[in-house]
Amino acid sequence: MKFTGVYLVVVLLVAVFSSTVVNSCPPSDREALLAFKSALNEPYLGIFKTWTGTDCCSNWYGISCDPTDSRVNDVVLRGESEDKIFEKAGRSGYMTGSLSPSLCSLDRLTTLVVADWKGISGEIPACITSLPHLRILDLIGNQLTGKLPADIGKLGKLTVLNVADNKISGEIPSSIVNLARLMHLDLSNNQITGVLPADLGKLSMMSRALLNRNQISGSIPSSIAGIYRLADLDLSMNRISGSIPAQLGSMPVLSTLNLDSNQLTGQIPVSLLSNTGLNIVNLSRNSLDGYLPDVFTPRTYFSVLDLSFNKLKGAIPKSLSSAKYIGHLDLSNNHLCGSIPMGFPFDHLEASSFTNNDCLCGSPLMRVC
């Protein structure tokens, strides 16, 4: 027994030693990381000072490897972090330079996060689409320019694509609809032009689609309504025209719909306001007309219902006062008329929710009916 125990310990020690000796990061991965580093300049925190020595898998800041073969799996560099290095420097990160195409030789990469460094410019290396294992691509909060790679759809394992808060221009590549595993798409706050792909609904795993603050034109493809898991759709502050597809009202888990500050016309689909799963709806600053549908029930629950700055006419439906809860209601700057219903969901609302209509009257407006 004793002998077996000692023998086991020896075998284990030998195994541990030989694995650390044999399995250090391959020189090609190390070279790729050093080339990536040399295209960047990080003056305040010194994170790249940890990138020394031959084994890029041990103690290189932001690098993790596959323990079985020591290939680089993850590059995770966040400029906003609670990490000690940031605490010590007493500031958030800042980096200039560009993303070297040398990254593309890290062909086992699953996660590439180079986020919130504020000053990294240049284009997203097009060769990134040849990384077959890439699951997470997060480049939020830099100064990246140029287009999204045309063949981005090749990244068959991608679940997160986040390039928000950059200066990406050009159109949304049509191949994007081939990202069969994509769950989170965030292109917000860029300079993206062109239309939304008509077959965007092919992205059947998507739960968040944030495309706000771009220059996207054309209409909202009704195929989006077929994305069963979509919970959060934000197309606000674009140049989107046409009407709101009625099918959006029958989406099973959609809870946030922001279409504000576009050029939408037509009526608000009845199905949209009767969808009791919808919790935050902002349709403000469009050219929506017609009447407010009379579809509210005791199951109606809105944290936000902002329909301000449209061309809505007629009366506020009495049924709205039967709602279970309405946190923030804004019907101002329309052509509504008649008396404001009384009752609970209206008790806490201020006059500003109703101002600048044609002839609304009653509390909380000063005008008596």
Ligand X SMILES: *[C@@H]1O[C@H](CO)[C@@H](O)[C@H](O)[C@H]1NC(C)=O
Half-sphere exposure of 102 (CA within 13 A, CB side): 16
- Asked whether 116 and 82 are in contact (CB, 8 A), the reply is no
Residue 261 Cβ vs ligand X, minimum distance, rounded to whole Å: 4
Provide CB contacts within 8 A for 1, sequence distance 6+. none
Gap between the terminal Cα atoms of the chain: 96
CB neighbour list of residue 304: distance below 8 Å, 6 or more residues apart: 279, 280, 281, 282, 327, 328
**Of 94, 92, 109, whose CA–CA distance to 33 is shortest?**
109
Give, as one character, the DSSP assignment of residue 223: G
Closest CA to 266 of 230, 238, 291, 233: 291
Look up residue 148 and give its DSSP letter.
P
C-alpha of 30 from chain center: 32
Residue type at position 337: C
214 versus 261: smaller Cβ distance to ligand X = 261
Is residue 224 classed as helix, strand or coil in its secondary structure?
helix
Least separation, in Å, of the C-beta of 246 and ligand X? Answer: 21
Token pair listed for 11? 């075998």
| Nearest-approach distance from CB 308 to ligand X, in angstroms | 7
Q: Which residues bind ligand X (CB under 6 A)?
A: 236, 260-261, 282, 284-285, 304, 306, 328
CB nearer to ligand X: pick between 107 and 289: 289
Residue nearest to ligand X (CB): 260
Outline where the chain has alpha helix (H). Answer: 2-22, 27-38, 84-89, 270-274, 344-347
Residue 120 to residues 40, 95, 318, 333: CA-CA distances in angstroms?
8, 6, 54, 42
Residue among 142 and 212 whose Cβ is closer to ligand X:
212
Rounded Cα distance, 57 and 128, in Å: 21
Least distance (Å) between residue 75 CB and ligand X = 35
Taking the complex as a whole, the smallest distance from the CB of residue 183 to ligand X amounts, in Å, to 25
Alpha-carbon span 305 to 283, nearest angstrom = 8
Specify the residue, 98 or 284, whose C-beta has the smaller distance to ligand X. Answer: 284
Q: Is the dihedral of CA 66, 70, 73, 75 positive or negative?
A: positive
Phi-psi group of 338: left, alpha or beta (phi > 0 → left; psi -120 to 50 → alpha; rest → beta): left
